[in-house]
Amino acid sequence: MCSGKTMFFMATYMDLCQTLDKAGFMSNAIGMCRREVRAVRQRQKSRVDKFLIDSKTFDSFQSGRNLSQAFSEENSIPGFLRWTHDLRAGTLHPPFPVRVDRDSNLVRQQESLAYGVLDDVIDCLFYRDRHGSEHHWRKSGPTSANDAIEATNLEVIAASAMLSNVGSLANKGRRIGQDKYRKKVLEKWGCCAVTGCKHQGLLKASHIHAWHLATTAERFDEHNGLLLAAHIDAAFEIGLISFADNGRMLFSKNFTMADRESLGLKKNSRLKGLSKASRVYLKRHRSRHHFNTDA
């Protein structure tokens, strides 16, 4: 009987990448970084699909491991990958932005919710490191002649990579399945949970535990959602307000009385119809924005 790896090896590289992409795993970047080390630096000859199949990321895919649950956005740092695009000419691929969580030994492709094992890309990784009060870009793995050349323009290269992806997680990631999530939150609440407003054009499906900190399951859990009028949603998202377990609205000390009243938010403003599951998420929101959890 053929092993799983053998069967995938028989498929085209594009088929292989698409299979991993659909499952939430990084694909081509893993294959190319593995090729960089073994074919370019160690002079091993093999097809790029074999390099991908031999990776720890592919092993995680085969075993059904959920990398998104292990990856910590809060502890991650920015980085980018570089590999040789054309082996004959020696030209490099443009910077490939990622987020790196060293504690879990995982990496996330910046413009999507695709994850990989850090060991597979470590030799091609540049990351943001802190020295004293300043941050500097540095090479993670062994250096080569190309790396030495790039080091002279590392800040420019990094800026180019990061600027092209500013807000990518918040904007692109939020769009993945967002329509389905909004529908679930609309069905759960029916109207603004504070004001009772039913005009859908004025309502936002707001995440209680922030999208960029949540696991994949939490991002699409309707209990992690509140249906709020746009102005209340904005105040909630940046931590000017939160809610106690009994639904009472809590105000940040940075939210002045004049600003509250201008938005029609009063001391007796209250969240109605709060579920037990949503209270768990609210506790995390209060903790994150430094509200008195006993309030």
| Continuous segment of H or E residues that includes residue 80 | strand 77-81
The domains of the chain are located at 4-171, 177-288
Residue 219: the pLDDT is: 82
In 3D, which of 44, 113, 46, 110 has the Cα closest to residue 125? 110
Buried b (16+ CB within 10 A) or exposed e, 172-195: ebeeeeeeebbebbbebbebbbbb
Q: pLDDT under 70 in the chain at which residues? A: 1-11, 40-46, 87, 89-90, 111, 128-178, 293-295
Q: What is the Cα–Cα distance from 62 to 94, expressed in whole angstroms?
A: 29
pLDDT of amino acid 142: 56
Q: What is the pLDDT of residue 5?
A: 54
The pLDDT value given to residue 244: 94
pLDDT at 129: 62
Round to whole Å and give the CA distance between 156 and 170: 24
pLDDT given for residue 166 in this prediction:
40
Query: 161: which 2 tokens?
Result: 């990579």
Q: What radius of gyration, in Å, describes the C-alpha atoms of the chain? A: 23
pLDDT of residue 77: 84
Structure-derived torsion over alpha carbons of residues 136, 139, 145, 151, reported in degrees to the nearest 10: -10
pLDDT at 165 (0 to 100): 46
